[in-house]
């Protein structure tokens, strides 16, 4: 019998922490808490909006694993971090509780990204059949999820006031994802109707 515990240096042994549960049981009846603790139904358009942003962040995270361009990899990580600001804005009714906001500089950064990658394409006009590489295909999925998030946010904005810079950021983000995906395509396969 091998006693592994004695072979592991003390500094590497797992320390017992206070038990932390990820389930609270407060959502068992179909409600959830917003960032500012207001309770809403889980299918509320606000929850759908920030939930779609969460999905977008996950797709971007998956995309990063297939990107071999360090600049794009870093840009995607920056975007993932910024999506937490977007989600927090969408998940909060009482905006006085928000610590972070989307700014014009965030949008300008996306516009620079769009311009940079679109200028590097030989023929950026016209529709292409997407997905000639895995790295581009995953980014195109992220782009379409971004467009869905934008639609959800627009629906929410018809009911409550949403920071216009959040809407603008998500609109530019889908274009930035498109520009990076187009750049990462192995082939620019034009659509044949």
Domain boundaries, the chain: 41-91+102-118+128-193
* CA-wise closest residue to 49 among 25, 113, 40: 40
Calpha distance 143→68 (Å, rounded): 18
Q: What are the C-alpha distances in Å from 133 to residues 39, 55, 81, 129, 162?
A: 43, 22, 25, 11, 36
More confident: 36 or 166: 166
- pLDDT tens-place string over residues 123-177: 667 787 788 899 999 999 999 999 999 999 999 999 999 999 999 999 999 999 9
- Please tell me which residue, 93 or 173, carries the higher pLDDT value: 173
Mean pLDDT of the chain, nearest integer: 86
| CATH 1.10.8.60 for domain 41-91+102-118+128-193 | no
């Amino acid at each position: 019998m091998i006693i592994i515990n004695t072979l592991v240096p003390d500094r590497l042994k797992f320390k017992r922490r206070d038990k932390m549960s990820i389930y609270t049981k407060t959502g068992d009846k179909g409600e959830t808490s917003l960032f500012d603790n207001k309770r809403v139904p889980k299918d509320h358009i606000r929850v759908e909006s920030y939930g779609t942003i969460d999905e977008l962040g996950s797709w971007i995270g998956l995309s990063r694993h297939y990107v071999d361009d360090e600049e794009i990899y870093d840009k995607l990580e920056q975007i993932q971090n910024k999506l937490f600001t977007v989600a927090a804005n969408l998940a909060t009714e009482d905006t006085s509780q928000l610590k972070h906001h989307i700014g014009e500089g965030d949008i300008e950064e996306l516009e620079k990204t769009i311009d940079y990658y679109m200028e590097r394409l030989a023929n950026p006009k016209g529709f292409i059949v997407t997905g000639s590489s895995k790295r581009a295909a995953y980014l195109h999925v992220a782009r379409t999820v971004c467009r869905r998030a934008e639609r959800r946010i627009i629906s929410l904005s018809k009911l409550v006031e949403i920071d216009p810079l959040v809407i603008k950021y998500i609109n530019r983000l889908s274009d930035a994802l498109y520009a990076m995906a187009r750049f990462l395509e192995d082939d620019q396969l034009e659509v044949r109707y």
